[in-house]
Structure 1
Amino acid sequence: MSSPLRAGVIGIGYFGRFHARHYALNPDVTLAAVVDRNHDRAQAIADEYGCEAFTDPADLIGRVDLVSVAVPTANHHAMAGQLLSAGIHCLVEKPIAATLAEADELIALADARNLVLQVGHIERFSAVYRALTERVSRPLFIESVRAGPVRERANDVDVVLDLMIHDIDIVAGLAGAPIETIQAVGMPVVNATSDIANARLTFENGVVATVTANRIAEKVERVMRVYETDRYTVCDFADSRIAEFERTGDLKTDGLAAVRTGEQTIEREDSLANEIAHFVSCVRTGAQPAVGGFAGREALRIAQGVIESVSDHQRRFAAAPAVPAAGPVSAHVEV
């Protein structure tokens, strides 16, 4: 295509407005239209960027070549399915859909029509993630923590689909093998669904990962540690920093001198701008997206396994008889 592609955005909420902004700034596309059920909200963005505003996604048909779907997860399948059926390329915010069956239908629609279906796992497009993948080759054990304070937005889903799925996607990619077993726990604290969860993921090649997500923490923390033979790498996604530790000698004889250490701050990039530029490039060239439908489906499959394990744990302990709280421990012990 020689002329600029025409882009649209469905869902002008917190994240959708950033999609609109980056399409407007991208020289390879023209932001043609935005859609939101709240017409005033859509019109405000349309006025800002000089595009059309609609309340019905069907109005995009014939007006756009590609679209970002930034609506609640429950609506991903209906919205993206309608547009894929009309021949429009789709970037769907994570998770790809609410169920695996819905994900499979979207993948099949895109494949049948030779369309790009990209899933918005934005962390894959950060500069520090790229630096991490350049340093890791054969992971043995992975630890990750993703935490942040209570917020009003994005609590329509479990913390596993809200936050943990970012690290599930990264861990699955680093492990490079199918998932084998999932053990998880989690609890709702201020919302109806789990606000904090921890999962132990074992992959078929023996790689083990522990993944923690917490949306009621006192501060932001987004850290991943990857352990390999004789080395480990720490990736701080929040601070865009990489630290490396490598054994270069005999610990018994050389002590800490046998450990080479290094730290590097990675220059930040706009991850969403990178993600959208990649999507536009794939549409223009026909290349496969780095995070396509199958990658999004696998992240959803593991995330759903985590949620099921959490539910099993909660049911088991809800049915158990209450154990009386222990009294204060005496400081005096007779022998």
Structure 2
Amino acid sequence: MIRMGVIGAGHLGKWHLQNIQNIPDAKLIGFYDADPTRSRLAASETGAASFSSIAQLLQEIDAVSIVVPTIFHYETALAAIRKGVHIFCEKPFMLTVEQADEVIQNAQMKNLIVQVGHIERFNPAFTALKSYSIRPLFIESHRLSPFNPRGTDVSVVLDLMIHDIDIALSLVDSPTRSIHASGASFLTKSIDIANAQIQFKNGCIAILTASRISDESARKMQIFQDKTLITVDFLNKFSEICWQADNFNTIPPDTTSAPITDASGNILKTIFRTKFTPEKSNALFDELTAFVSAIQNGTPPLVTGKDGRKALDIALKIEQKIQSTLRSFK
């Protein structure tokens, strides 16, 4: 049984508390939050024990969820490592790549698990595709959200786009060649809308758009590869594959087809379409359960500290490109 705690009891922290209580191989010991009012509210809503200090909590646990503002990730993670506590850290992993490197190195020296909370890796719309060979030539994503003051301690790149950066990096087995980006501030002092083009050395290109000032929500990615289009709707939790028949030896069930004809009505090609609507699942519960399993088995988690560091590195480069462009307009 893994004894777990949570540092940070805001909106997301309470969600962590509730989910940890339902993991069979975990025991929730309690949580710490610097705000006494928030602590009382979280204790009342979740029934979890509130600790008076981080040090006191770390003495009693094997693993911790770090769910504090990003500016505090680094010092909180190092405090946990010093006590020999495994780390689940919400994204973005750290504020700088240097901080990420130090946390990873210190954890490795103590044989501690570090998992980063890139929750879309556990979205059923994405996991439904794990049995398919995905070799992207082109990726396009849109992650849009109405404005919410929560999460504005960082830019939209580190808050929203970083999800799609992580997904793209997990799919494309190639280093990056170049990054181009543009964006703007609107309701905050930081970047509120951003577009980035990432070119990989193998020729794949990913075009990512993120906004936290949109009228409607959307979280969709399209992945183009040879004679195949894969659509992943992270918001509505379904995925879809469209392909030409000669791509597959067998046709999956629940597949529809449509002919592509010329002006005379002659069939040129047949396009097949399969939609996957997985059973509802709780992605946070799944990723926290995977964290517990990684600790028990001594195996790397699905999203390692190095994965979090890679996504952070690209996100920061995108931010730098946008900020450089914005300065040129002043």
What TM-score results when the alignment is normalised by the length of structure 2?
A: 0.91
Deviation at 1:288, TM superposition (A): 0.6
Q: Which residue of the partner structure matches residue 88 of structure 1?
A: 85
Equivalent residue in structure 1 for 2:127, among 107, 127, 130? 130
**CA 1:255–1:227: 2 relative to 1, 3 Å:** farther
Deviation at 1:56, TM superposition (A): 2.1
Structure 1, unaligned runs of 5 or more: 319-335
Q: Which residue of the partner structure matches residue 293 of structure 1?
A: 305
Equivalent residue in structure 2 for 1:188, among 179, 185, 188? 185
Q: Which residue of the partner structure matches residue 215 of structure 2?
A: 218
Q: Which residue of the partner structure matches residue 172 of structure 2?
A: 175
Aligned residue identity for 1:311? Q
3-state SS of the aligned residue for 2:194?
Answer: strand
Deviation at 1:120, TM superposition (A): 0.4
- Asked if 1:19 corresponds to 2:31, the answer is no
3-state SS of the aligned residue for 1:238?
Answer: coil
Aligned residue identity for 1:294? K
**CA 1:186–1:136: 2 relative to 1, 3 Å:** farther
What CA deviation, in whole Å up to 9, does each residue of 1:264-303 have, x standing for no partner?
3222210000010001111111111110110000000000
Judge conservation of contact 1:144–1:212 (CA < 8 Å) in 2: yes
Equivalent residue in structure 2 for 1:272, among 260, 284, 293? 284
Equivalent residue in structure 1 for 2:271, among 259, 267, 270? 259
Deviation at 1:50, TM superposition (A): 4.3
Deviation at 1:48, TM superposition (A): 4.6
CA distance in 1, matches of 2:61, 2:31: 10
Structure 2, unaligned runs of 5 or more: 247-258
What CA deviation, in whole Å up to 9, does each residue of 1:290-323 have, x standing for no partner?
10110000000000010011112112233xxxxx
Deviation at 1:251, TM superposition (A): 5.7
CA distance in 1, matches of 2:40, 2:26: 20
CA distance in 1, matches of 2:13, 2:146: 21
Judge conservation of contact 1:133–1:174 (CA < 8 Å) in 2: no
Deviation at 1:41, TM superposition (A): 2.1
CA distance in 2, matches of 1:267, 1:136: 22
Judge conservation of contact 2:125–2:276 (CA < 8 Å) in 1: no
Deviation at 1:134, TM superposition (A): 3.2
Deviation at 1:262, TM superposition (A): 2.5
Q: Which residue of the partner structure matches residue 37 of structure 1?
A: 34
3-state SS of the aligned residue for 1:96?
Answer: coil
Aligned residue identity for 1:73? T
Equivalent runs, 1:146-157 vs 2, <5 Å: 146-157=143-154
What TM-score results when the alignment is normalised by the length of structure 1?
A: 0.90
The two structures, once aligned, show a CA RMSD in angstroms of: 1.7
Judge conservation of contact 2:7–2:66 (CA < 8 Å) in 1: yes
- Identity over aligned residues, as a percent? 37
Equivalent runs, 1:3-152 vs 2, <5 Å: 4-152=1-149
Aligned residue identity for 1:159? V
CA distance in 1, matches of 2:85, 2:59: 9
CA distance in 1, matches of 2:154, 2:45: 30
What CA deviation, in whole Å up to 9, does each residue of 1:190-217 have, x standing for no partner?
1111110000001111110000001111
Judge conservation of contact 1:240–1:267 (CA < 8 Å) in 2: no
Equivalent residue in structure 2 for 1:204, among 201, 205, 225? 201
Aligned residue identity for 1:131? A
Judge conservation of contact 1:183–1:306 (CA < 8 Å) in 2: yes
CA distance in 2, matches of 1:49, 1:224: 35
CA distance in 2, matches of 1:200, 1:99: 21
Equivalent runs, 1:217-236 vs 2, <5 Å: 217-236=214-233
What CA deviation, in whole Å up to 9, does each residue of 1:57-106 have, x standing for no partner?
11113211100000011100000111111100010000110001100110
Deviation at 1:40, TM superposition (A): 3.1
CA distance in 2, matches of 1:223, 1:51: 36
CA distance in 2, matches of 1:261, 1:125: 23
3-state SS of the aligned residue for 1:119?
Answer: strand
Deviation at 1:42, TM superposition (A): 1.8
CA distance in 1, matches of 2:58, 2:17: 18
What CA deviation, in whole Å up to 9, does each residue of 1:211-251 have, x standing for no partner?
00011111111110000111111111111111221123796
CA distance in 2, matches of 1:67, 1:61: 8
Q: Which residue of the partner structure matches residue 239 of structure 1?
A: 236
